[in-house]
Structure formats: structure tokens, C-alpha cells
Amino acid sequence: MFRVGLGHDTHRLGPGPGLVIGGLTIPHELMALGHSDADVLLHAITDALLGAAGLGDIGEMFPDTDPANRGRDSAGMLAAAAERVTAAGWRVVNLDCVIFAQRPKILPHREAIRSRIAAVLGVDPAAVWVKAKTGEGVGPIGREEAIAAECVVLIERRS
């Protein structure tokens, strides 16, 4: 038995020491603003995993009303969600992700991001794909006011 999950996240951008994307800090003059470390990619993956397994969403598991989640590491959040998915009898088959950002360029960081996500999920890096799209100078992404990510994940029932 297979299930598919879809995750999406968007964060505003503001001045800061760099962007946290896929569990890595990428040098940049802007940072994503949010209650946790605002890692839009890991948030989208977390939602996709939880949704595929029918286990809720990131906001239910880590509400922004809980002070314990202020500045929280999104890799830890993803790991906790993955543990919940595994405990429910599922395993990750693969995931495909898109980061929407005008800058910085993601390609030089892609392999490190894929490896980090694979390590957090306990899967082969070949099961993780990451690509990026710019906003072509249009809208909040193109004006560098926001960053977004989407993820599709396939899980299967463990035998």
C-alpha cells in the first residue's frame, strides 16, 4: 500500500545572517522569518510526511503558540515527524522538492541539502530530490520578500 503527501511552506524574508534551507545555513544577506528556524524546505517535507500517513500537520505537532518551539531546529521537527510516521507502520520511498527563491542560487548547495535531508530521514540520498525555481523578478518571491517550498513524498506500508 502506498500513500502520497504534499507539503508547502512560505516564509517572509528579512535582514539576517543567512537562510536555513534543508537543515543547512546558506550564506545570504537575508533570512527567513518565523517562529522556529524558519526552514521552509524542512517544514514542507514535514507536512508532506505527516499528511501522507494521515498524522496531521506541522502546526498540530509543533504549534507556534508553544514557547518551546521558538527558534526550534526544523531538522529535529522533521526527525520527530519521521519517527511518528515509522511508528505508524510506514517508510519513506522517495521525495521530490522545489524551493522557490530569487536568490541565493541553490544548485551549489543541492547535494549537501539532499544528504542532510536523507540523513535526517534515514534514507538513501538517491531517494531525495531537490530543485529550485526563481520568481523571475515577479511577485513576493521575485522581489525577495518571501521564500517558499513544496514537497511531494511517497510512503509505503512496511511489511
Q: Could you give the 3-state DSSP secondary structure of residue 44?
A: helix
The residue extents of the domains of the chain are 2-157
What's domain 2-157's architecture?
A: 2-Layer Sandwich (3.30)
Summarised one tens digit per residue, pLDDT across range 68-121 is 878 889 999 999 999 999 999 999 999 999 999 999 999 999 999 999 999 999
For residue 159, pLDDT beyond 90: no
Residue among 37, 31, 142, 157 nearest 88 (CA): 157
89: left (phi over 0), alpha (psi -120 to 50) or beta: left
Cell 510512503 maps to which residue?
155
The pairing of strands 90-100 and 2-15 is unpaired
Q: How far apart are CA 69 and CA 80, in angstroms?
A: 13
Go through 48-79 and write b for each residue having 16 or more CB atoms within 10 A of its CB, e for each that does not: bbbbbbebebbeebbeeeeeebeebebbebbb
Full-model pTM = 0.97
What does the pLDDT look like over 5-20, one tens digit per residue? 999 999 999 999 999 9
